[in-house]
Structure 1
Amino acid sequence: MALFSTRPPPPGLISHDWSDAAIARTTYLGDLSPLNAALALPRIPLGALGDDLRREPHAFLRDVLIALPAARRLALECRARGITHVHAHSCGRAALITALANRIWGLSYSLTLHGPLSDYGPGQGFKWRHAAFGTVITHKLERELAKALGPDLPDRMFLQPMGVDPAALTRSTPYTPPDPGAPLRLFSCGRLNVVKGHQDLAQAVALLKQRGIDATLEIAGEDDAGGTGYHAALQAEIDRLGVSDRVTLLGAIDADAVRDKLEQAHLFALASWHEPLGVAYMEAMSMGVPTIGTDAGGVPELITSGRDGLLVPPKRPDLLADTIAALAADPTRCLALSEQGRTRITESFSSARGAQTLVEGIG
């Protein structure tokens, strides 16, 4: 399998022990060379492509010109390696590059929608119109996509939930619920962005502190700038809440460290304002950690509140604190959610299912 990307990740986001090897085997397509763009222009079938582009917002033409050099590089690399199909794991710039490589050089492609269509920029009709097939991670997004694009969607569409490897995300020791009144260990994982609701979770810890509940929280993840963006604002909010001794930002940590933190945690919580589905939830549930999430986006397609996890409304740190406190005081319920959460992932959200969907679509 060949890996392509537009650019290397920021240094602050490189945390896994396999990162260097992955970077070394990835071909980076980012290229703003005027010469490369000029070499692409004569190959453009202006009639058919022009008809396509006229159906999109005028501002989309700028994105097309920026993506042209990368599309040419992708097409040439695939031709040299005998690659006949490329899957774009995003509906942003990657999808535009593969769609252009298809319209100009005939490269077959497919794509996956992981979140609201509005998150991925203009020209979605162009990106989807000529795909061999498409996949969507939730029924909710599937309905929204059909409403937005309708006839521009490819004939073959598949539901392809994200997934994790339950064999790798398994405990070395049985889950042990917190002892009532003893210190409570909370863990969260997700990129540092205001929509992930980490500030709401920190506020919930502050509310627990006011109630005399000794809860500590570790948050794994980094902002998109590798630590120079929202990280500072979140730390300032933690300081303002007076919980800097209880809430720790770990930054980007590797998969083994995440697994270790999950095994040590009594509860996992993520307070996203909107979450397309949530791999972090899956990792926690696979590790048998009782999981608290928000009733937002596609999360209810993953967590049935009260059965394999608990859901609260987003932007409600008060209810989040109530839920954490109630669950921490109920060892029997913690054990039940630990077991049912793990079962939910192994039965319905194994990464093997998503991989098989792609194999069947390409085949």
Structure 2
Amino acid sequence: MKSNNYKISKTVSGLSAYVPGEQPQGGGWVKLNTNEFPYPPSPKVREAILEELGGDGASLRLYPQPLSDILRKAVAEYYGVEPQNALAGNGSDDILNLLMRAFGDENLKIAAMNPSYSLYPVLAKMQGAELLEFNFNGDYTLPLDAIFNSGANVFILTNPNAPLGLEFDEAVLEKIAQNFNCLLVIDEAYAPFSGYTAAKLALKYDNILVVCTSSKGWGLAGMRIGWAIANEKIIEVLDRVRDSYNLDRLAQVAGIAALEDVAYYKKFCRKVVETREDFEKFLSDNGWDYVKSRSNFVFVRPRKAGLSPAEAAADFFEYLKSQKILVRFWKNDSKISDGVRVTIGTPDEMEKFKESALKWKELQK
């Protein structure tokens, strides 16, 4: 075979890919590992997709709207802003990628909390940017002085945080915007479960970008739809580096239909929150250590006599898997290897988790 002389770029050669949550094969699994919405999307979404397809699907031979104009308008109406303050993307990951293209390079540092969304380091390193990771204070507050003095061009804050579920109030966000002289990116993937959005702050301050996804609180993880809110200048910069036709026809109509049925999603987000609160009560009543959450998951720290915290978490993870229950476990991340992240599923799914958790505890006796 002829040898090839192509070379991998220096940036990519030292890059580790993002590792997603496990996708089980076959049926019978209780899937609580990727924070998906436990209920179907609005019926209006299905209707909109079928209408777009028509009888023969002929619309699919045509390119979609290049700017996703109608979806941007729907996003703007939902947040009470103007369309020029909104951007649509192929999932929020697409928008985060645009962010790194526009505001990160070998001379521009990106800052984020640790633990946080593990895709941030991958995207930053793809652009050759140095990633600065900050630890939470002992009381889970932010090390604001260190962030302000970091020299970073961008600070990304997941609010509520993943994988811990912590939420930072508006006063903290405003303090960062006022004292951090560069771009504050607020990743609101899980905001539908806390009920708070910083979208209005994105218009009050010219250095805030709010990013959201339809994957968590809108039941559309399979469609890959995300959006962002910011002042016109930031949106214009992101549009410069956006891929052509970055959101397909079906995703655009699905996103529009979802945003037109807010009442449906608020109803089911409330159900998720109620199930989470019931789950946290179960954990408290049975002596489990966990981080109180404002999201659609709970970070649980199992403990077992004779095992280190990380070993106990690994043992619990494997036991649950033997019961066909999947949760998220980061065995190679010392910051969070002492626990597992449990997605809030349906009440029936959570009952199955509780039963298995109690059985695992019984095995220790």
Q: If the TM-score is normalised by the length of the shorter chain, which range does it land in?
A: under 0.3
Higher helix share: 1
Q: Choose between structure 1 and 2 for higher RCO, CA contacts under 8 A separated by at least 6 residues.
A: 2
TM-score after normalising by structure 2 = 0.25
TM-score after normalising by structure 1 = 0.25
